Structure 1
Amino acid sequence: MSDGIFTLDAEVRTDLGKGASRRLRHAGKVPAVLYGADKEAVSLTLSHNKVFLAQAFEAFYSHVLTLNIAGESVEVLVKDMQRHAFKPLVMHLDFLRVDAKKELHTNVPLHFINEDKAESIKTHGGHAEHHMVDVEISCLPADLPEFIEVDLNNVELGQTLHLSDLTLPKGVSSVELNKGEDHDLAVVTVKLAKGPKAEDEDDAAEEEATEE
């Protein structure tokens, strides 16, 4: 993947308001705002085509991006993106400035691997029930991973993996676990997949409960 995907040119805009944003979108631009790092917020515009191309990559949302603004390079994270309700259009972006010396809090996606190899699923009829699709982490920008792997290869039928079972890269910690042991949330459970027989038994149990 080219690093160029994560470098975007931006221009400072002074023409604000809904009407101005509408004109920008008609001209193939995306309105955006840059804030954070104890600095004033700055209104920006970016090329919609380049933004749309970049946002198709999962890593766009958990990668430190570079904005080139009037000859200055600024490292940022995407904090919010507004899309059109039904058209393939990005309507607005929120960027957060990144300080290389300060820890950041952000969400990164979970990649569930080896589901097709796990004996509990392949042989014993289980299926993986995902309780999370991403996880909030804390780390320095240089340690930010694009994703966290969740290996299901040795997970047994009926077993649940929690946040404490994840292998996090060096320098990365779970925001929830940092709050205490009672925040050790469930990530994924391998459960017995229901077949027609199991569903019939559930229906029969519900009928008996209704009759009682």
Structure 2
Amino acid sequence: MNIVAFERAKQGTGASRRLRNSGRTPGIIYGGDTQPQAIEVDHNGLWHTLKKEAFHSSVLDMDLGGQTVKVVLRNVQYHPYKQQVLHIDFQRVDAKTKLHLKVPVHFVGADESAAVKVDHCTVNVVVNELDVTCMPSDLPEFISVDLSELKKGATLHLKDVKFPRGVTPVTRGSQNNPALVSMVAPVIVVEAPVVAAAPAKGKGKGKK
């Protein structure tokens, strides 16, 4: 994916505010052997591009001052209530250095599983992205996880996933095999039979 950026000469709170008012978003590129560099990006184009999943988990070609720089998206700061990107961070990519990035997970085949087709289970997604490390050339746009073999009550864990070649999951502490998705059986509600109330004695009888 491509993105066009421009060098940003003026910095500071006031300069950033004026930049946003003119339809631009301030940002920064860091990493590698080069000093961090302030940039600016067209806001409207950036806003729509950020809606694409691949933009968040791909090596991007950034056109900066007529040169192409390989980067990955690292952080986006949004306005608390306006549809506005306040700031964006990119990291330079070195072809010979491993990346540590979050990658989306796509769960497929659930409708073909016995859990859904036969037992009408609900697919409970616990995790929708995974921390991975890999070389830039091996970075997947997403990781596909097949649920077609899962049965009622089953839970799929991290170690059940087959990762693409060259891609290694990153875990922390004791959470080395977290649950990613589970098949939750439907709740069966059993209604108690309705018992008709006995008529009250003497009701409906006239006086003698």
The question of 1:186 aligning with 2:179 is answered yes
TM-score by length of 2: 0.86
Q: Highest Rg: 1 or 2?
A: 2
SS class of match (1:40): coil
CA distance in 1 between counterparts of 2:151 and 2:181 reads: 12
Q: Name the residue aligned to 1:29.
A: 24
The structure that is helix-richer by fraction is 1
User: What amino acid maps onto 1:39 in structure 2?
Assistant: T
Root-mean-square deviation (Å) = 1.9
How far the C-alpha of 1:182 sits from its partner, in A, is 5.8
Task: Specify every segment of 5 or more residues in structure 1 that has no aligned partner in the other structure, as ranges.
Answer: 1-5, 201-212
SS class of match (1:108): strand
Q: Name the residue aligned to 1:61.
A: 56
Q: Name the residue aligned to 1:145.
A: 140
CA distance in 1 between counterparts of 2:44 and 2:151 reads: 46
Seq. identity, %: 36
Q: Name the residue aligned to 1:98.
A: 93
CA separation of 1:18/1:117 partners in 2, compared to 1, >3 Å: closer, same or farther?
same
Matches within 5 A, 1:60-209: 60-176=55-171, 183-197=176-190
Q: Segments of 4+ in structure 1 off by > 4 A?
A: 179-182
User: What amino acid maps onto 1:53 in structure 2?
Assistant: H
Task: Specify every segment of 5 or more residues in structure 2 that has no aligned partner in the other structure, as ranges.
Answer: 193-208
CA distance in 2 between counterparts of 1:172 and 1:147 reads: 11
CA distance in 2 between counterparts of 1:94 and 1:149 reads: 27
SS class of match (1:161): strand
CA distance in 1 between counterparts of 2:26 and 2:173 reads: 40
How far the C-alpha of 1:181 sits from its partner, in A, is 8.4
The number of aligned residues is 192
The question of 1:17 aligning with 2:8 is answered no
